[in-house]
Structure formats: structure tokens, C-alpha cells
Structure 1
Amino acid sequence: MRVGPGLWPRLRAVQVYGANTNVGKTLVSTLLVKAARERRNWRTWYLKPVSTGPLDEADNSHIARHAPTVPSRTLFQFRTPVSPHLAVRLESTSLGDAPILSGVHAELTRYAAAGPGFALVETAGGVLSPAPSGSLQADVYRPLRLPVLLVADHALGGIATSISAFESLHVRGYDVTSVVLIQDEEYRNAEYLTEYFADRGIATTGIPPPPARLPDSNSDAESLGKYYEQVSASPAIDGVLQGIEDEHEARLARLGTMAEEAHKSIWYPFTQHQGRKAEDILVIDSAYGDDFAALTPTAAPSLLQPTFDGSASWWTQGLGHGSPALSLAAAHAAGRYGHVMFAGAVHEPALALAQLLLTHHANPRLSRVFYTDNGSAGMEVAVKMGLRAACARYGWDHTAKKVEILGLKGGYHGDTMGVMDAAEPSTYNARVEWYTPRGYWFEFPQVKMRDGKWVVESPAGLEGIFGPPREFGSLGEVFELQTRDASAYEKYITATLKDLRDQSRTFGALVLEPVVLGAGGMYFADPLFQHALINTIRRNPTLISATAPPPTSDPEDWTGLPIIFDEIFTGLYRLGHFNTSALLQAEPDIIANAKLLTGGLVPLCTTAASESIFEAFLSADKASALLHGHSYTAHAVGCAVAVESVKMLMGLERTWGGYREDWGGGKVWSMWSRGFVEQVSRLKRVDYAAAMGSVFVVALKDEEGAGYNSNASADVQRRLMEGTGGYRIHNRVLGNVLYLMASETSTPDTLAEVQRCLLEALEA
């Protein structure tokens, strides 16, 4: 069972963090558990996940002495009294984060099963002290996202350390619900911190300092015992416990009403609301790694269950939810800039991102980067660029003739009006009143796995042109373009373009989703067809315009038509590579990137273009400029996050060796197990399967016809959401096509569990 946030209705659980070492965490913990058990008569438990030092000095031993009716436990004890990350080295052992996390979750679940109660989990050291693995403990425990009681620092400099500790927790998504600190008459930190946290809606409680230590151990224990008896009975400690109880009940109430309130006030995207009910809405409390923490009222004992984010949050998630590195990058840029206007200005994150992308695209055709806020807008810009460049070169007057685009059937480039027109008629645009198709869309062969065999299959009705399905020994063989015969494709493309030219149709750009066409149906295009389409246009400009100049040999200039790669979905390692140029053995003149660009944190899109396309907009007339933009163009937060995200993605390449090996070690591979894909493709109800990079697709048979309006995958989608073994999968479907998306950080263990769940759902 996967470990995620726990919310046990009958268990008030809180995690105690300290702003520093020696701030009195165990003192506060002892007071709270003692008062909870002896004053409020709550079932109470104390848990210390990791402790260092002699066993008789362990914090749970302290609890046992001064709150003997409270069960107390330490999960992992190290003898050496140093930081846990040093203790494991000195004792020649190791301890990863997962056993700590699962151990805490299991203990809390056991407590919750015993009935109504209170559990306190005490951390070690400060908020950012290292765990045994070396990970910061605030990151180790983040998947649990327990409410936090912060023990502030009462010593000199404690105001700074306390606020820093709070901000470290806050930026990681923790809820700090209360602050407690020892009162000190000399430094009087409590006065300042009370006001500071009150402005943030957090109550601060001061407690009397403990008695001075006595040289005689028995006398010292007796003195401390009297302190605990007196202070645990105080209104201050009772107020802290009441605050914990109130916040617990308020959290339950908020989660319990969110779906109904949302149902009344929110208009959801891509959703037919007729017939929908409040219970159809997924309430997400938080997200971390690959999972949502989703409300599951029927679950027991926790109301929250880990739910795999099967669409990678509409394809944006590449680095997992809750990445501290991305959060910190965003916070730094927000603090440094907020947002600054961009026309005629520059800031460091925007320049750094442009240079980073141009360097790693390693495409001599690309020299300029234009910023927009999302993929649809970025593709609007790409089409504007391509059409302007073509009209300028060929002398076309767009006011006198309709200038269209070339593309593939099933392609889709966004939901704004301009790029909607760059897609063929479909369910997406059928009811859009201003939609006007402006293009020609080629039929194309698709790559599929059927009955454990990779095939390239011709579109229905074109078998006589492209031939019968062709089998390949591996997916890698499909991408060995130099060994495959493209003559049939080239002949078909040439004949089609000649026919279009003879009809006096005018085309200003070729717009492609390379390799995988996303929203239209997750179609895996034969890369040889896309390669042949690009090359045919570039080598034969007269197929576009009878007066076209001959092909240019300049590697930085476009010829025939500007080639636009819509890599909103497939770019930046979605398919295992920085871009798709190596897979198609062709480089675009314009490329748009979004989705993985910012690791799923904030919206941002870049459209990179060649210098020759940039020059088509140069003029003494301002109206000839690329008059496109929005208020948040190149917003500093997005650019800074994107720089961090892209660098992190590049650093992940070295971690994918096992996935590559599973698929034969070539340039084409998937994070989804090869054996799993083969197994799915052989199932009775499956038409075909496909996988590449982090993408997995399964198309289900539908006697009434495939497509977006099919309901063939609805029952599988429902079973995945119902889950098995306490684990659910949230996913989106495209008619009869069900797809799953891993993060680029997903582990083999995680994906093995997802694969198991999907097989169960498909075989049910």
C-alpha cells in the first residue's frame, strides 16, 4: 500500500517540529500528551520516528517517566548522540526515507483503529535537520502532511530562526496550526512572535520555563515532575489542545462541503455538466510526488487516499507534485521581481531560459524565443509566425486569398480560436460558432502493438497506397528510418500536394505534433511518414508555390514551408528525449514548448523560431511587428521555475538506465514495462496498446465505433478510481482510448503498482 496523507476522523494527529535544536520540543510534547491523557481523558499516543543517543535518554523514555499512562514509541534508535545522518555512518548502517514514512503511517493507522484519540509525532532537531538518508526531514515527512505544531526558539536570535522555520514549512505546503514557545523575560521573543503569527491566523502560546537542572538526578526528576503536573493543567496547554481539536474538526468540515459548493459555483473545462452530481467531483486535499491526496468518504480508517495522477495533471507533471526545488525557485522570483512588464525589457530568468532552450534544442534553425502563457497561445504565435514568413517570401496577399495550414488528421493544437481553425472538424470544435477549418489534414499510418507485436497500420481505405500492416521486431526498429523505404509515403504526399496546388489552395505552414498526437486521440504516428512529409515539402518548394525559389542549402533558413513542431505535449523528455528531432531525424523552423516546461507548477509557454522567420516581421511599419502578448508575458516566476525544471529534467537522464535496458537499450524506450505493454495488447477487449517515454495508451474495442464520443473505456476508468488495495488511479480518457502518464521521476515500484491496478481493471 502506498503512503500518503492521513486524515483519520477519530484521531487528532499533530506533528511537532522545532525551530532549532534545544528549543523544548520534548518538553512541549510531554505537556501536551500528559494533559490530553490526564486532563481531557483522550486516548493518547506519543511517537518519535527517529532518535539518537543512549536508549535511557531517548525521548520516549522521557515520556514514559513523566506521562506513564501514555503509550510511547521510537521507531528507529541510533546509539550515537549526533545528527541521524551522521549516526548511520558512524554505526555502519543505513535507513532510507520510505521505512520511516511507512512506519509512521502504519502507527497512526493503528492508533486510529483503536477509537477516538490524540497522537503526537515528534521530529528530531530543527525543521531542516537531515534525516538518516541525508534528506531534509521536512521533505521526508511531507507526504504525510500532518498538521504542524511549531516549537519556536526562545533564545537570542530565536525570532529569526522561528520565522525561517515557519517559512520553510509553509513553502513546502504544511499547515502550521499553532506555535508554542518557552517564555523568556530577557529576550521576550514571545511578544514579537505572537503578533507576527497572529497576522497569519496562527495562535502562539507561551509556557513557563522548566526548573533549573539540579545536580542530584532524583531531585531533578522530582522537580521536573512537579513542573509537568502544574503546567499540563494550565489554561495555556488546554488552549493548545483545544486549538488542535478545533482545527481538526474544521478541516473535516471544509473537505466535507467542498464538492457540493464547487458543484454550485464552478464551470469545469471539458465537462458536460448535465447529469453530473456533486459526488462526481474529486476533492483534492493536497498532492505530492505522483499522487493526489484525495477525499474518499467511504474509505477506512483514513478519509484521504493516495490517488495516482494518471493524466500527469493534463500532461504538466514531470517532476512530481510538491517539488521543494520548484517551490523555492518560484518563491525567490516572486520575492525578487513579483511580475515586471516585458515589452522592451529583460530580466535574468527570461534571458536564462531562452538561452538554455536554444542551447539544448541544438537546432541551428532556432535563434529567437517568444513567450506566452500557455500552449494554445504559444501555438497561436507559431502559426502567426509561419503564415507571415510564407506570405512574405511568396508575395501572397492574405486579404485576397485564404492562407491555410497543412497538418495531420487527429491533430489538435489548443482551444483558442486561431489554432482551433488549424485542426480538422471534430467534437472539440463542432459547436464552436466561429470555427472555420483552414487547412488540409493528411491521413497517416499509425504505430500500434497488437497481440504482442509492433505494427505500422495504414488508415482505413488507404491500404492500397500504403500496403497492409507491417510487423516490426521492436519499437526501436520502427524508428530506424534510414533502413526503411519511404517511397510509398513520398509518392502519396507528392501527389496530394500537387492536387492541392492545382486546386489553387495556398498553404503557409506545416503544423505537426511530432510522434504522438495528444488530445485528438493519443495516436502514435509512423515517424517515417512525418519524416517523409517534412522532407518532401523542403525538397520540393514548387509543390507549395509554382514560383517558389529552389530549396536553400542554408541550415538556418526554412524552405518550402515553415515547419512547426507542436511539442507542447511531446517535448522536454516526455518521449525520453529533450525534443523529438532525433526521433524524426528532422528539425523544425518553429517549436513550441509548455506542459513539462515548468514541471506543472505555473503556466508558461515558449515559441522558438529561426532568424529568417524573425526577419519576416522586420519593417519600418509598427503594424508589421508580431503584435501578440499578454500582461504576464515572460513572468519572472514562470521563467525561473522553468529554468529549474528544465535543468532538473536534464539531470534525470542518468536515472533512466533501467527503463532503457528493459526496452533493449536503444534510443526508443518507455517507463512502462515492455512486458506489461505486451500483456495489455493481448487482452480480449483491447484493440491495441502503445507506449513511449512516460506515455502509455490502450485503445479498447467498441463495436459502435471508436472516437471521442465512445464510452468503451468508461467502466475501466471507474474501476481505477474505485481502486484496489487502498490505492486509486485518477485518469482522463479520450473516448475508447485510455491513457496513463508517468512523471519523469516515477519509480519502477510506483509504476508496477499502477500497472497491476490497470490489468485488474481491464480483466474484470
Structure 2
Amino acid sequence: MSFLYKHLRIHQVFGANTDVGKTLLTSALIRASAAKERDVFYLKPVSTGPMQDADDEYVKRFAGSHKSRVRSKCLFRYGEPVSPHLAATLVRGEAAQSPVPTDHTFVNAIADYIRESAKLHSEPAHMYVETAGGVHSPTLSGSTQLDGYRPLFLPTILIGDSRLGGISATISSYESLALRGYIVDTILLFRDEYYRNWEYLQPYFADRGLKVVSLDAPPEKHSDPDTNFALTEKYYQQIVPASQEGGVFDALTHLDNCHANRLQELESMPRRTLDTIWWPFVQHGLVKSEKDVNVIDSASGDTFSVYNGKSKGDSTLLTSNGSSLLDSQFDGSASWWTQALGHAHPSLTLAAARAAGRYGHVMFPQGTHLPALKLAERLVSSGPGKGWASRAFFSDDGSTGMEVALKMALRAFAVRENGGMKEGQVIEKRRDLGILGLKGSYHGDTIGAMDACEEGVYTCEWHESKGYWLDPPTIGIRKGKVVITLPGAIAAEAGGDAEISPGTLSETYDVQTRLQTDLAQVYRGFIERTLQNLQLDGKRSLAALVLEPIVMGAGGMIFVDPLFQRVLVDVVRSSPVRGPQVSGPNWAGLPVIFDEVFVGLYRLGVESTSSILGVYPDISVNAKILTGGLVPLAVTMASDSIFQAFYSDRKADALLHGHSYTAYPVGCEVANETLELVEKLTTSEEWKESQSKWKVAEDQAAPAIWSLWDPRFVDTISRLPVVGEVMTLGTVLSIKIADDAGGYQSHSAQRILESIKEVTSVDGVSPVAGGASYSINYRTLGSVAYFMLSLNTSPALVRSVEDRIWKTLAAASR
């Protein structure tokens, strides 16, 4: 988590290289702060080398006449004068048996020191946290400092390099900091009269709104310690004069102003937001005050850092108890289902920068570029399109990707119905073409995507339902038991039982085996009769089957019986049930669209829901996880038979659909990087451990049915009186409140789980990097509360969130 206090200004000091004067210039700032009658805290998280050369000892030695105001501390000290990642492994004696501190341990140690320091005084104070070496020097664990320190998100001072090559080193260091989102408030460097780097860097950074302060260079180190001390002390008296004027004091004033401006900005954001922003999916009439605005200052991993001043009244009150103005908040919806690898993942950020720097954006019709080509080939040949897709069409987001899919399917159907003729074709009643889908489905908020759903809360005045929607059987876990709930019409044909217990979760999702059951025949008979009646009705000609496979998300996290969806696909294709059905080169019956915007790319623990259903679509759409939640991008994949419906020598027969940012290079490069990282996750020890808990064998042939949520936790909460049913797959956890038929309009889930949004202390080591406490940001769909993880959320954080959910629901059950 990040830290921000009204009374304690904190800055982190990075160097553009080793030996650029980090400690010397930090000491100058410390002396200036103390001279301004500020208590000063200096923290050197890691020190390597002899004690007499330690930076924290140097700060004490040259604290000046106000040294009583200065507190100096080192957290991890190693005797070997080498890089921290090496020093941590070269410890002699008993300590050699201790494990190297992880970044999580390292960050939490710094966070604890900051918290304790903030509690010491209510008067204004300054803190300086000095890193080691250059910006990319390793932490104890071996990761780069920029990534290791990032969860703390402390405002930064960059010490520039005044030596030969220092201009390049300083600019490169700044850009490395900027790429990871650091707030760089100022750059300090020595005024070397030979290389004169400051003369170049001051206007260079001034054009970017950044202040550069140059100070006289120190004298050469004298071999005699006493003489050296006297010379160094004299130097400090020159650059930190008693008049409190000049360079270092200018820098100090600037840092204080940056701190004050950040506080003022955060304090004003709730009111400005209420006056300016129109939120999606929010009834503004229910947002009563500024405290209801969730101000996100930064994000890292699975957590937001949110401003709490608007919820605790006058923020000046916080100076008395040393509380940070920022709290950690777990992103419980994976930011509307987009996050795959957590926020601000450095690999994705760098991928975006690579493509932005190489291309910006380039128009795509009849062109190509490597990020788009590699992504298309990967998705079609070895990704979710393997075995059926031949083409990939790029668009902006999931909703537009579905618009493309609908155009593809409807044209393919129309061409076939017209005898394959495209040139000069006349399709009678083409506006009466409709789709077949399921009740509760949702494919986005563009008009065409809305028309592919029945009337509901998401539709608008222009909405015209163009199709028919079947009421599907659903799956839930109740009192520890997997239950299939049948709609009335199907229950009547199944002997009157509205609920069926198919066995374990793995048995329930073993579609291939269940195809031989009586229930499969009941489903088939029901679907066939329904379609026959629709054909006799003749109001619309159904031209495509559109499904959200396995889970219908926005409709209420509805887990559909996969057997029903499989049989439905088989019926509309008029295909016999003979194992996994592949659409092949020529689609049969109706083209089938899989909307995998939400469920695809391992959101449910599998790359594609085709592996569960045992059948491929003719068209599918991927988005959200595709780019790891960093930038919008969607891909609609299609089989060759769909593509051929548009293929001719007439422009009018082409798929005349496009976006200005089609195949956006930044999005494509980020997607390629995301898929690389996700592929590695699938074989990680964390995934294997979770799969073993759900009794998934490594060599099993059937699709793995598992979850990152613990099965014991799921079983426990499913038995609570306040819970109607629970379901989970992959990263998704859905909790339906008992005895609530209010649907989307209900506030029951929000009301019962409201306290989970409050900041709560964590026992033991916090699973949130740098945080001793955190709240949970989650979303509800009426009577359903859902929680979602990234694909790499740490097991410790998952267990902690589970504990919070269980305690809240258990309290509501009393």
C-alpha cells in the first residue's frame, strides 16, 4: 500500500547510478529539514559493507547542529560490500541458514517503520527513504528495486548523474521510474563545471514540468579522517547555509509544495467527481455524499490505494493518531473482470511502451504489423481457436467484438439461405433474422449487442429483442451439495423434480459422460420441441445461436448446466452425439457464437470453455483478460466457412466493419505479453496446489474443474443460513443471498456484506504488500455478490479474503 500523511512528508531517494551522491545529497536535505525545525526520519532499508561506511552512520555523523531532530535507521544490514541480492546469500554463521527476505517481507518491514514513525509526532516532519545503487539495482530477493519498492508508491527524488554519460543515465532512470508510475517530484545533482550536465538537464526536464536543482560538488575525500570530516562539514555549511536560502532550500520548499498539492488534489477529487463525472451502472441519486466516492490514488498487484479523508471527516484530525490518508483496498471484482496479472504489472507496462514507441497507432486495412500478426497466429493456431478457427478480426472491446460476431453469423446464415449467392442477392425479411440464446444473457451495451438479449435492466429505448431466449437449468452449491435447478418446463418433463444432484463438481462438468444420461435426452426433447414451435410460429427466422458458455456474468453470475448448453449446440447443428463435435469446414444448422469475453482465457480455470462443453463454436470473442486489464482490445475468431460467406470479388460483400483503433499495436503487444505470462502460470506451483485441493489429477483426460478458492471455504459458506447458494470456478466466486427474489433490483447482497468495505486489521503478516490492514471493494448483481481474483493472486491473500467473507456472512447468519 502507499502512505500519505498530512503531517509527515515522505520521499524516496533513487539514484541514476551508483556513486552519484545519493547519501550526500540526502544528508543535505535532512540538514535543511532539521534547520527548518522539522523532525527528520532517515531510513536505509538495506546496507552492505563495513559499519563505518554505512549510509545511516554517515547521516548521523553529518546531521549538523540540529542532529537531535534526526533519527537514522537501517533495517537489513550485511557486511559484504556487494550488491544486496548477493550480500543476502553470503551471510556467515547461523544467519546463513535463514531464507533471503522476499520482496513482500522487505516491503512490509519498510511499511512498519513508516507507520511507527508517523505515530511518534503530530507535528510536521520529513522522512527520506534511500535506496541502494541505481534504479534497477537488485533488492534482496534479486528483483529490480523499481518493482520491489513499487507497492509502497512513495513520491520520489531522483539523484542525477553529474559525470560523463550522466545525461543519458539520468534520463533513462527517470523514464524507468515513469514507466512504473512513480511520482518524481524533483531531480538533484552536483554542478560539475567540466561536464555541465545540469545545464542540459534543467531545460530538458523543465519542458516536462519537472524541477532540477543543482548543487556544488563536494571536495575530494581526504585520507585523514579528521581532515575529511572538517572539509565535509564545511561543505555542508556552504550548501545548507544558515540563511536558509538557495538550492537545497529551494528543493525543500518544492518538495513541501508537491506534498501539499497532492493532499489538496485528493481532498478535492470527491466533490469535483460528483460535479463532473457520469458513472456507468450507478444511480447517482443513491450517492448521497462525497464519502461515497472511492478515490483511487494508485493500484498495485491486487489492491487499490484509496484516499480515506473523505470518509473520516476533517482530514486534519488524522494528524493526531498518525493514520495514513491512504488505505489498501482489495480489488474484489478484478476491476470488472479485466485483471489477469494484477495492476501495474511491469512486464505489461513495458510491452505497451515498446509498441507505443515503435508504432503509436497505424491504420490496419490491407496492412499488417508484427504485434497483430503474432497475436492472431497465436490465438488461431495454438490458443482458444486451435482446431476450428482460421481468422482473427480485431476490435475495441467485448461489446464491439460481439457486434462483429453477430454480423458474421447473420451474413453467413443469409448467404446460405440465399443459395450461396452474394452478388445481387435479395434476402427477404432480412431484418426479421433473430438469434437463439438464454435468459439472463448479456453481450455488451452497444445497441446491436443489446438486441441479442431479451428485454432487461441493461436495455434502452431503442432496444428490440431480436430472437428467442430459453430458460436454462443452473448449477449451485447448497449446504455442501452440488444442485442443478431445472426451470418449470424442463422439470415437468424430467418427472417433476425441480432439483437434481448430479454428484461432485467434477462429475457435474463431465459433459461427455453425462451425454449418455436420461437428463440429456430430456434436454434434447425440450429443445427440439421448442425450436419446432418457434418455426411454426414464423415470427422470426433464427439465424444464430449465441451463448455465454458456462457462466452468464452480468445477468447474475448464472452458472448454466454445461450439459444443457452442449445439447443445445448439438440440436441447432442437427448433429448426432458422437463425442466432441467440431464445426469443421462447413457449419451445419445455425452458426454458433461463443461469447467468451468474460469466461475465456482461464478466468474459469480453462483456456476455453470448449474443453468443458466438448464442442467448438463457429465464432468466438475474447477480450478482458486478453490484455491483462491494461488496455482495451477484443478479438473475434471465425471458422473458414464463416469467412467464405464474405469472400468474393465485390467490395459490397466484404465485412464492412471497423474501428479507428483496429489492431491497436499497443493492445496487441500487451496481449502477446499477457498470454506468455498466463501460459507460465498454468504450470505454476500455486495452480498445482489449488488443483490438488479440488482433486484434479495432473494426468487426467477430462477438463480440470477447479478453483483458486479453497473447497473447504466454499463448502462452509454454502451451509450458512444467510446464503442461498454458492458457486465457484477458476477465479470466480458467486454468493447468492437466501430467500431473496428481488433480482437485479435487490440490495440484499450489498446490505449484508457492506461491512467488508471497512478497513480491518490483519492478524500476523499482512497478505497485502506494505499493509497492516485493508478493505475489500466488491460488486453485487442484486441478490448476488461476486468476488474475483487475478490469475496470480497469492494464496495468502486469497485465504485472508476468504476469512473476511466468512466472518461477515457468519455474523449476518446469527
Is the partner of 1:150 in helix, strand or coil?
Answer: strand
Which of 246, 249, 255 aligns to 1:238? It is 249
- Aligned-pair distance for 1:487? 1.2
- Aligned-pair distance for 1:428? 1.1
Aligned match of 1:682: 719
Does the alignment pair 1:271 with 2:282? yes
Aligned match of 2:422: none
**1:667-686 per-position Cα deviation (integer Å, ceiling 9, x unaligned):** 01001111111111111111
Aligned match of 2:396: 373
- Aligned-pair distance for 1:456? 1.3
Structure 2 counterparts to residues 156-195 of structure 1, below 5 A? 156-195=164-203
Which of 256, 259, 264 aligns to 2:270? It is 259
Aligned match of 1:548: none
**1:128-169 per-position Cα deviation (integer Å, ceiling 9, x unaligned):** 111111100010111111010000000000000000000000
Aligned match of 2:315: none
Distance, in Å, in 2 between the alignment partners of 1:141 and 1:556 is 53
Does the alignment pair 1:388 with 2:411? yes
Q: What is the identity, as a one-letter code, of the residue corresponding to 2:411?
A: R
Aligned match of 1:356: 378
Aligned match of 1:632: 661
Aligned match of 1:417: 447
Does the alignment pair 1:127 with 2:135? yes
Structure 2 counterparts to residues 283-682 of structure 1, below 5 A? 283-297=295-309, 298=312, 301-358=323-380, 359-361=382-384, 363-395=386-418, 398-401=427-430, 402-429=432-459, 432-460=460-488, 462-466=490-494, 467-484=497-514, 485=517, 486-504=520-538, 505-539=540-574, 555-655=584-684, 656-666=687-697, 667-682=704-719
Is the partner of 2:760 in helix, strand or coil?
Answer: coil
Distance, in Å, in 2 between the alignment partners of 1:400 and 1:536 is 24
Does structure 1 retain, via aligned residues, the 8 Å contact 2:736–2:784? yes
Q: What is the identity, as a one-letter code, of the residue corresponding to 2:752?
A: V
Query: Structure 1 regions of 5+ residues with no counterpart?
Result: 542-551
Does structure 2 retain, via aligned residues, the 8 Å contact 1:453–1:472? no
Does the alignment pair 1:697 with 2:734? yes
Does structure 2 retain, via aligned residues, the 8 Å contact 1:316–1:596? yes
Does structure 1 retain, via aligned residues, the 8 Å contact 2:582–2:615? no
Which of 732, 739, 743 aligns to 2:786? It is 739
Aligned match of 1:9: 6
Distance, in Å, in 1 between the alignment partners of 2:167 and 2:648 is 59
- Aligned-pair distance for 1:230? 2.6
Distance, in Å, in 2 between the alignment partners of 1:311 and 1:64 is 47
Aligned match of 1:720: 756
Against the structure 1 CA distance between its residues 398 and 111, is the aligned structure 2 distance closer, same or farther, given a 3 Å change threshold? farther
Does structure 2 retain, via aligned residues, the 8 Å contact 1:706–1:735? yes
Q: What is the identity, as a one-letter code, of the residue corresponding to 1:85?
A: H
Is the partner of 2:660 in helix, strand or coil?
Answer: coil
Against the structure 1 CA distance between its residues 119 and 561, is the aligned structure 2 distance closer, same or farther, given a 3 Å change threshold? same
Is the partner of 1:573 in helix, strand or coil?
Answer: coil
Against the structure 1 CA distance between its residues 695 and 553, is the aligned structure 2 distance closer, same or farther, given a 3 Å change threshold? closer
- Aligned-pair distance for 1:462? 3.5
Is the partner of 2:298 in helix, strand or coil?
Answer: strand
Does structure 1 retain, via aligned residues, the 8 Å contact 2:583–2:617? no
Does the alignment pair 1:78 with 2:89? no
Aligned match of 2:31: 34
Distance, in Å, in 2 between the alignment partners of 1:723 and 1:447 is 33
Which of 102, 105, 130 aligns to 2:111? It is 105
Distance, in Å, in 2 between the alignment partners of 1:363 and 1:525 is 24
Is the partner of 1:89 in helix, strand or coil?
Answer: coil
**1:516-551 per-position Cα deviation (integer Å, ceiling 9, x unaligned):** 10111100111111111111222359xxxxxxxxxx
Is the partner of 1:180 in helix, strand or coil?
Answer: strand
- Aligned-pair distance for 1:90? 2.4
Does structure 1 retain, via aligned residues, the 8 Å contact 2:620–2:637? yes
Is the partner of 1:565 in helix, strand or coil?
Answer: strand
**1:203-226 per-position Cα deviation (integer Å, ceiling 9, x unaligned):** 111111111111211211221122
Q: Paired residues, what number?
A: 748
Q: What is the identity, as a one-letter code, of the residue corresponding to 1:529?
A: F
Is the partner of 1:708 in helix, strand or coil?
Answer: helix
Does structure 2 retain, via aligned residues, the 8 Å contact 1:95–1:133? yes
Does structure 2 retain, via aligned residues, the 8 Å contact 1:329–1:641? yes
TM-score normalized by the length of structure 2: 0.90
Does structure 1 retain, via aligned residues, the 8 Å contact 2:385–2:637? no
Q: What is the identity, as a one-letter code, of the residue corresponding to 2:163?
A: A
Is the partner of 1:28 in helix, strand or coil?
Answer: helix
- Aligned-pair distance for 1:44? 0.6
Aligned match of 2:804: 757
Deviates more, 1:658-667 or 1:23-32: 658-667
- Aligned-pair distance for 1:637? 0.8
- Aligned-pair distance for 1:751? 1.0
Distance, in Å, in 1 between the alignment partners of 2:572 and 2:542 is 11
Aligned match of 2:150: 142
Deviates more, 1:753-762 or 1:738-747: 753-762
Does structure 1 retain, via aligned residues, the 8 Å contact 2:557–2:784? yes
Distance, in Å, in 2 between the alignment partners of 1:414 and 1:554 is 26
Distance, in Å, in 1 between the alignment partners of 2:583 and 2:262 is 63
Q: What is the identity, as a one-letter code, of the residue corresponding to 2:125?
A: G
Against the structure 1 CA distance between its residues 581 and 757, is the aligned structure 2 distance closer, same or farther, given a 3 Å change threshold? same
**1:370-424 per-position Cα deviation (integer Å, ceiling 9, x unaligned):** 0110100000010111111111112286542511101111011010100101101
- Aligned-pair distance for 1:281? 1.4
Distance, in Å, in 2 between the alignment partners of 1:718 and 1:461 is 37
Q: What is the identity, as a one-letter code, of the residue corresponding to 1:75?
A: L
Q: What is the identity, as a one-letter code, of the residue corresponding to 1:249?
A: A
Does structure 1 retain, via aligned residues, the 8 Å contact 2:379–2:386? no
Aligned match of 2:57: 61
Is the partner of 1:575 in helix, strand or coil?
Answer: coil
Is the partner of 1:90 in helix, strand or coil?
Answer: coil
- Aligned-pair distance for 1:332? 1.0
Distance, in Å, in 2 between the alignment partners of 1:403 and 1:323 is 44
Query: Structure 2 regions of 5+ residues with no counterpart?
Result: 313-317, 420-425, 698-703, 762-772
Does structure 2 retain, via aligned residues, the 8 Å contact 1:558–1:612? yes
TM-score normalized by the length of structure 1: 0.96
Distance, in Å, in 2 between the alignment partners of 1:56 and 1:630 is 63
Against the structure 1 CA distance between its residues 554 and 224, is the aligned structure 2 distance closer, same or farther, given a 3 Å change threshold? closer
Does structure 1 retain, via aligned residues, the 8 Å contact 2:361–2:664? yes
Aligned match of 1:280: 292
